[in-house]
Amino acid sequence: MKINWNYIKLGFLLVLLSGVYTFCVERHQSKKIINSTVEFIGEDNLFITQQTVNKLLIQNLGSLTNVPKDALVLNKVEKVLEANEMVKSAQVYLTVNGGLTSKIVQRKPLGRIEGNSNFYLDDDGKRMPLSSNHSARVPIITGKITDESLQNCYAFLNFINADDFLKKNIIGINVVDTNDLQLKLRLEDYVVNLGSVNNLEAKFNNYKAFYSKAIKDKALGGYKAVSLEYNNQVVCTKI
């Protein structure tokens, strides 16, 4: 009987490759985490710091250095980070050289509520606590604060944040009633009576036309109130 050495060689090669693969996997799994780093994605406004993140992980999971890689549950680490009120989302992964990296997206405030309780309204329309590390430069919201009026403020803030002119000039929102908002401007002394958040594009197209003409006529200092509540017109109250 003739021996087919090619098959024997192939079999030996497969056994050898399997052994090498098993060795590499076991060696990789036995490696330990040597360091932990934090990366903040997006804006530089740090409502939560790297020190706070490290403390949060240690309090909930203990020290993560010198922990075997295969003993660490990354999903559990992410849930610990996302439980913090300043964190919108977290992604955690292991690097080839034994590092643990946490990429964190912070919550983004759109407005700051000042009243019986102080907090932010974030870009998901949810309440966000103030931070001792950073104070966001966003419009101040005062007046009759309810869940419904905050949703109207949220819709309005999203609208003005998409417009450079309005974003730069509107610094305050006073909630007169649920569907009645009054605006404070950065440079002008008059207030803008917005009314409801319906037809915002038409209202501010009218306002921009009024504003351009009033600047040209040097008349802005003569008004104490400008109303956008009425259809297709701007009604001004003089001092």
**Per-residue pLDDT tens for 47-89?**
988 888 988 888 888 877 777 777 788 899 999 999 999 999 9
Q: Which domain holds residue 88?
A: 35-106
Q: What parts of the chain have a pLDDT lower than 70?
A: 1-30
Asked whether 174 and 182 are in contact (CB, 8 A), the reply is yes
Residue 23: the pLDDT is 42
Residue with tokens 């919550």: 107
Among the candidates 106, 123, 148, a domain finishes at 106
Residue 98: the pLDDT is 81
Among the candidates 59, 90, 106, a domain finishes at 106
In a domain, 174, yes or no: yes
Note whether 102 and 113 are same-domain residues. no
Among the candidates 61, 81, 106, a domain finishes at 106
Asked whether 121 and 161 are in contact (CB, 8 A), the reply is no
Residue 209, C-beta contacts closer than 8 angstroms, at least 6 positions apart: 234
In a domain, 18, yes or no: no
Total tally of structural domains belonging to the chain: 2
Report residue 236 as tokens: 């001004």
Residue 15: the pLDDT is 56
- As a whole number of angstroms, the distance between CA 109 and CA 121 comes to 6
Note whether 166 and 234 are same-domain residues. yes
Residue 14: the pLDDT is 61
In a domain, 30, yes or no: no
Note whether 173 and 64 are same-domain residues. no
Residue 11: the pLDDT is 57
Note whether 135 and 208 are same-domain residues. yes
Note whether 80 and 138 are same-domain residues. no
Q: Say how many CA atoms lie within 13 Å of 177 toward its Cβ.
A: 5
Residue 10: the pLDDT is 57
